[in-house]
Amino acid sequence: MNEVVTALSASRRRAVSVAICLAAILLISLVAAIMAGPVDISASQVWHVLRSGGDTSTPHATIIWALRTPRALLAAAVGAGLALAGVILQALVRNVLADPYIIGVNSGASCGAAIAITMGASAGLGLQGSAFVGAALASALVFAIARGVGRMTSTRLLMAGVAVGYALSALTSFLVFAADTAEASRSVMFWLLGSLGLAAWGPQLTATGVVVVLAATLTAGLGPRIDALASGDETALTLGINPDRLRAGLLAVVCVVVGTVVAMAGSIGFIGLVIPHLARRLVGSAHRFVVPVAALLGAILLLWADVVARVVLAPQEVPIGIITAIVGAPFLLLLVRKMHA
C-alpha cells in the first residue's frame, strides 16, 4: 500500500513539474509569436503594449495589439482544444489513432463552412456560425447512428463517425468542384487547410478560450472515470460507472470543443493525433495528468506552427494545416517505430 501511495505521489510531482515547465514555455512562445512576422518587433515593445492594455498610438503598437496578440491567443486556444479532443477520443474509442477527424465533427464543420463560402454567406459571423452548425449536426447524426437500438459501444461510435465523416467530406469536395468562381474554391480550400486569419478581439475569441478551459477542467476532473472507460466497459461497470452515459457526455464535450475551434480556425490536422501520445510519454497514462499536459503541448505546437506559416513565405501566409502535417507526420512515424522497438 505504501508503495502505491509513493508511486502516485511521484507521478503527481512529475506531472506538476512538467506542467510548470510547459506553462513557462507557453508564455515565452506567446511573446515570440507576437514578435515574429514580416515587421520586426522587439520584446520590449511587446511588453510595453501589453502592459498599457491596448495602446495603438503607433503602427507597431497596432500590429501588436490588434493583429498579433489575438492571433497568438487564438492559436493557443485552438491547439489546446484539438489536443484535448484527441485525448478524450482516444480514450473514448480505445484507439490510439483517434483524433477529431474520426468522429465526423471536423468534417461537419468543414462542410458547413464550405456551404457558407460558396453561397456568399461568409461575411461577419456567417462562416463561424455555419461551421459550428455543421459540427453540431454531424455530432447529432453520429450520436444517433451510434446509439441505434442498443448500447453505444466504442466500435459503433467509431464506425458511425468514419461513415459520417466520409460522407460529409465528399459533400465538401463536391461544393468545391461546383463553386461558381475560382476565388470561392480557393477560399474553401484555404479554410479547409486551416487559418488563424479570422482572429480578432471580440466575443468569438473569448468564447473559444472559455470553452477550452472549461472542457479541460471538466475532463481533468473526470480523469479516473476516463481511465476506467479506457480500460473497457467491464472495468467501468465494475467500478459503478455507466459507460454509455459517460461516453455520451464525453462525446458532447468533444463536439462542443471541436465545433468551436474548427469554426474559428478551420480544419487543422495532426494536433489531436500526435499530442496525446507525447503527453502520455511525459506523464504516464492517468488522464488527470495527461489532460493539462496535452493542452499545454497543443497550445505550444500550434503557436509555433502559426509562426512558421506566417514567416516562411512572408508576406504570403501558408495554410497552417500544411505546417502541422509536415511536423506531425514524421513525428507519428517516429512514435510508431518506438512502439514496435
Q: Read off the amino acid at residue 54.
A: G
Highest mean pLDDT among 70-84, 199-213, 302-316, 319-333: 70-84
Least confident of 12-26, 44-58, 213-227, 257-271: 44-58
- pLDDT (mean) for 30-49: 86
Rg (CA), the chain: 20
Specify the pLDDT at position 105: 81
Give the orientation angle of helix 271-283 with respect to helix 287-311, to 10 degrees.
130
Measured distance CA(12)–CA(286) in Å, rounded: 10
Cα–Cα dist 87/98, whole Å: 9
> Which three-class secondary structure state does DSSP give residue 117?
helix
* Number of residues in the chain: 341
Neighbours of 121 (CB within 10 A): 13
The alpha carbon dihedral of 179, 185, 191, 192 has a sign of positive
**What percent of the chain clears pLDDT 90, i.e. is strictly above it?**
24
**pLDDT, position 121:** 66
| Max avg pLDDT among 24-33, 238-247, 319-328 | 24-33
For 118-142, the pLDDT digits (tens) are 877 665 567 777 888 888 888 888 8
pLDDT tens-digit series, residues 138-196: 888 888 888 776 666 777 878 888 899 899 989 888 888 877 777 777 777 777 788 88
Amino acid at 68: R
For residue 22, which amino acid is it?
L
Q: Which residues contact 15 (CB under 8 A, 6 or more apart)?
A: 283, 284, 286, 289, 292, 293
Global confidence as pTM: 0.88
- Could you give the CA distance from residue 161 to residue 86 in angstroms, rounded to a whole number? 14
Domain ranges of the chain: 1-340
Is residue 4 scored above 60 in pLDDT?
A: no
- Look at residue 216 and tell me whether its pLDDT is greater than 90: yes
CATH architecture for residues 1-340? Orthogonal Bundle (1.10)
